[in-house]
Amino acid sequence: MRSASDGSGHLHDIAVVGLGAMGSAAALELTRRGLGVIGFDRFTPPHNLGSSHGDSRIIREAYFEHPVYVPMVQRAFELWRELERASGSVLLRSTGGLMIGARDSTLVAGALRSAQLHGLEHSLLSADEIRARYPVLNPQPQMVGVWESRAGVLAPEACVAAQIEQAQRRGATLRFGEPVIRWEADAQHVGVFTAQGHYRAKQLIISAGAWVNSLLPGTPLPVRVERQVLHWFAPARDADAFAPERCPIHLWQFDGGRFFYGFPDLGAGVKLAFHHGGETTRADGVGRDVAPDEVAALRDALKRFVPAADGPCLSSVVCLYTNAPDEHFWIDRHPAHANVWVASPCSGHGFKFAPVIGEILADLVQRRQARFDLRLFRWR
Ligand SMILES: Cc1cc2nc3c(=O)[nH]c(=O)nc-3n(C[C@H](O)[C@H](O)[C@H](O)COP(=O)(O)OP(=O)(O)OC[C@H]3O[C@@H](n4cnc5c(N)ncnc54)[C@H](O)[C@@H]3O)c2cc1C
């Protein structure tokens, strides 16, 4: 291993590559525990070129993807509130949430399973009950909805900014606009190389989101980067009924296996998007322009299920999912290096967990007992 050339000659406890949602959370938790952190990002987060932008992210507790996520999201609620108190920023807004689809759909059956297994406060609403309570939502007659009261909306850019600011306050050295070109590791140390210098640390966390495989040349993850488009529509009518006090976050499974989701109007219009169904892309080569037929496809769904939102499309933005084949997370030690950890990808549903993934990573690097069941997230 070559010696440090960053001018400091310093051996950092942990280097973190990628300071988006996961990396900034890890940097914060590690500095909270008194460890010396150096972090790198190719841009200056929060930015709109990765996976953590677009004004809003859903947080929900009756987790349809698997009940194992429920204790993690419960901890995440606590940690987001802690971060709000520490930073003085408003990060999480409660709205309640509805998961709507056929009774036996993945979404409804999965949400019910998690709610029942973990004794969560919830109710099952018929299509008529949904329409009566939330007049802007228009389920088909055979659809039902799992209502949960804790769900809400996170402000992703503010969350990342708060994590970064709090980590820096506690002493993390975070270097922006400095892409990591490569790294190397031996049993004791890691070396991290950028165009500006090379740096040494005892351990390395790779949290590079959609770029993760550019940092794992010999051991790429079997992930697919997926282009996703977010759209904001002006309400065509009943604008008041989209207010966050009156409209919950809503996820839909329709026409078999298709998903979309929507938010209340937080000031910029009603945000709606498909979950999956996007084209495969690369983090550096993704098309950022949104075609009229992409707006039209979303409009077809909203005309059916949220018809009051059928006003002009105000804006559309491209974002990136990094999907594992089973759509679970990837949080584990590198198979060839005991001091290198990977915390990506999060398969389009990771944001809400960022601070808890920060805690998990800190436990892993400190070789502490895991507080959650991490088997779904192992290297596979
Ligand atoms: C459209 C959309 C909607 C979503 N909705 C939800 C939702 O409602 N709820 C939810 O919980 N989750 C949601 N997600 C998923 C969630 O946002 C992601 O799982 C999460 O943001 C991923 O965080 P990350 O830290 O892995 O990636 P990012 O936040 O993208 O961070 C990766 C960072 O690595 C940096 N980087 C890359 N390569 C290098 C390098 N070589 N050197 C230095 N830095 C590097 C990048 O610049 C970037 O800042 C959504 C995602 C998208 C795209």
Specify the pLDDT at position 286. 97
The position carrying tokens 């219009």 is 269
Per-residue pLDDT, averaged over 305-324, amounts to 98
Judge if the beta carbon of residue 351 lies within 6 A of ligand 1. Answer: yes
β-pair type (11-17, 37-40) = parallel
Q: Is 316 in the pocket of ligand 1 (CB under 6 A)?
A: no
Q: Contact at 8 Å (CB) between 376 and 68?
A: yes
**Cα-flanking dihedrals φ and ψ of residue 186, to 5°?**
-120, -170
The finding on whether 138 has its CB within 6 A of some atom of ligand 1 is: no
- Provide the token pair at 354: 């960022």
Tokens found for residue 332: 């584990």
pLDDT score recorded for residue 345: 76
Assess whether the previous peptide bond of 345 is cis (omega < 30° from 0). yes
Residue 206 CA to ligand 1 centre (angstroms): 12
Phi, psi of 97 (to 5 degrees): -145, 150
How many angstroms separate the most distant Cα atoms in the chain? 68
**69-87 helix and 354-365 helix, angle to the nearest 10 degrees:** 100
Cα(269) to ligand 1 centroid in Å equals 23
Which mutation among 52, 60, 75, 327 tests ligand 1's pocket best, with the greatest number of atoms within 8 A of CB?
Answer: 52
Q: What is the mean pLDDT of residues 50-69?
A: 98
Specify the residue with its C-alpha closest to ligand 1, atom 43.
41
Cα(338)–Cα(127) distance, rounded to whole angstroms?
Answer: 52
Q: What is the rounded CA–CA span in Å between residue 164 and residue 63?
A: 28
- Report the atom number in ligand 1 closest to the C-alpha of 214: 41
What DSSP line would sit under 28-73, residue for residue? HHHHHTT--EEEE-SS-SS-SSSSS-SS-EEE-SS-TT-TTHHHHH
Give me the pLDDT at residue 3, please: 38
Report DSSP state, residue 368: P
Instruction: Work out the pLDDT band at 301, boundaries 50, 70, 90.
Output: very high
CB 108 within 8 A of CB 253: yes
Tell me the Cα Rg of the chain. Answer: 21
CA of 131 to the centre of ligand 1 (A): 34
Query: Ligand 1 centre from 291 Cα, in Å?
Result: 23
pLDDT at 5 over 50: no
DSSP bridge partners of 271: 232
For ligand 1, say whether the CB of 358 is within 6 Å of any of its atoms.
no
| Cβ of 339 less than 6 Å from ligand 1 | no
- Judge if the beta carbon of residue 211 lies within 6 A of ligand 1: yes
Arithmetic mean of pLDDT over the chain: 96
pLDDT of 266 above 70 = yes
Ligand 1 centroid, distance to 314 Cα (angstroms): 24
Residue 145: CB within 6 Å of ligand 1? no
Q: How many CB atoms lie within 10 A of CB 254?
A: 19
Say what the pLDDT of residue 70 is.
98
Mean pLDDT confidence for 255-266: 98
| 96 Cβ closer than 6 Å to some ligand 1 atom | no
For residues 50-73, b (16+ Cβ closer than 10 Å) or e, as one string? bbbbbbbbbbbbbbbbebbbbebb
Looking at residue 8, what is its pLDDT? Answer: 64
Q: For residue 9, is pLDDT > 90?
A: no
Q: Indicate which atom in ligand 1 lies nearest the CA of residue 350.
A: 19
**Read out DSSP for 316-327?**
EEEEEEEE-TTS
Nearest atom (ligand 1) to Cα of 23: 25
pLDDT score of 230 more than 80 = yes
Residue 7 has pLDDT above 60, yes or no: no
pLDDT at 160 exceeding the cut of 70: yes
Position 76 pLDDT exceeds 80: yes
Q: Is the CB of 352 under 6 A from ligand 1?
A: yes
CA distances for 379 relative to 116, 205, 221, angstroms: 29, 14, 9
Q: Answer whether 247 contacts ligand 1 (Cβ < 6 A).
A: no
CA-nearest residue for atom 28, ligand 1, is: 20
Residue 346 pLDDT > 90, yes or no? no
The residue nearest atom 33 of ligand 1, judged by CA position, is: 18
For ligand 1, is residue 207 a contact (CB within 6 Å)? yes
Whether residue 1 has pLDDT greater than 80: no
DSSP class of residue 136 equals T
What pLDDT sits at residue 344?
78
| pLDDT tier, 307 (very low <50, low <70, confident <90, very high otherwise) | very high
- Residue 50 CB–ligand 1 contact under 6 Å: yes
The CA distances from residue 342 to 150, 212, 225, 346, in Å, are: 30, 8, 16, 11
Q: Is the CB of 146 under 6 A from ligand 1?
A: no
